[in-house]
Amino acid sequence: MTLNLNGKKFRGIENYDTGDFDETVVFAFSQREAVVTATFRGQRIEHGILLGVLTEQSTLSGHWMYLNKELEPSLGVFESTIGLSPSGRIVLKEHWASLSPGAPRLGFSTIEEV
């Protein structure tokens, strides 16, 4: 799948737990060639950034970090499989690992183009 995420916005639609990520999180993506960046925020996330690489195999992988509303940092890595919803919107199904000291964990989430 050839696609460009530049200028696209996504919203959280699924998360495996009750962490800071929820349906209020909105991502604003930028892309230049294979390099993808995004900023994000939500009800429990003050500010977040993402840096990744888009592959020809329809995956996006990279790193993320954010400050929650209590200004506690969180950071990790992710790999997203890119697909389309029945309505034709881009969907990223993410597997991630939090690397934050004292809180390492694995999980999955889904974000969808708005």
pLDDT tens-digit series, residues 12-62: 998 777 678 889 999 999 999 999 999 999 999 999 999 999 988 889 999
Please state, for a pLDDT cut of 90, what percent of the chain lies above it.
Answer: 77
> Does residue 114 fall inside a structural domain?
no
Distance CA 41, CA 11 (A): 10
Element (H, E) at 54: strand 45-54
Residue 14 lies in a domain: no
Q: Is residue 13 part of a domain?
A: no
CB 33 within 8 A of CB 25: no
Classify residue 72 by its DSSP letter. Answer: -
Q: Cα separations (Å) of 85 from 29, 36, 46?
A: 18, 21, 28
| pTM attached to this predicted model | 0.91
* Domain of residue 102, residue span: 30-45+55-107
Residue 96 counted as domain residue:
yes
In a domain, 23, yes or no: no
